[in-house]
Amino acid sequence: MMPEWIEACGVGDVENEDLTRFDHGGRTFVIYRSPDDEYFCTDGLCTHEKVHLEDGLVMDYEIECPKHQAAFDYRTGEALRAPACVNLRTYKTKVESGRILIEI
């Protein structure tokens, strides 16, 4: 199946150093806005116990899971802190006409 670009949200829907949740096709994603105004996307569930990252803490380039404080680099998906040891899947993003699109 070919990857496709889908519209996730508007650039104004994501505050600086924060995130917004996006659900599509039975899957859940999280869109992040970095300190330097770039946008990133990962799966929306922590790889540890499938807890939603929506209420997690975003700081610098990390997302911290609200349940057990596992942390990931949202640019690469790399698991940075236990209990998570499996990386988060990441997705390409692009901005067109003020909308954020992700490639799934």
- What is the per-residue pLDDT for 2? 87
User: What is the per-residue pLDDT across 1-11, written as a single tens digit (0 to 9) for each?
Assistant: 788 999 999 99
Euclidean distance between CA atoms 72 and 65, whole angstroms: 8
Task: Enter the pTM of the model.
Answer: 0.95
Euclidean distance between CA atoms 62 and 1, whole angstroms: 31
Q: Give Cβ neighbours of residue 56 (< 8 Å, ≥ 6 apart).
A: 19, 46, 63, 64, 65, 66
User: What is the per-residue pLDDT across 73-104, written as a single tens digit (0 to 9) for each?
Assistant: 999 999 999 999 999 999 999 999 999 999 99
Give the CATH architecture of domain 5-103.
3-layer Sandwich (2.102)
> Radius of gyration over alpha carbons of the chain, in Å?
13
Reduce the DSSP state of residue 87 to 3 states and report it.
coil
Which of these, 14, 11, 19, 24, lies nearest to 104 by C-alpha position?
Answer: 24
User: What is the per-residue pLDDT across 6-39, written as a single tens digit (0 to 9) for each?
Assistant: 999 999 999 999 999 999 999 999 999 999 999 9
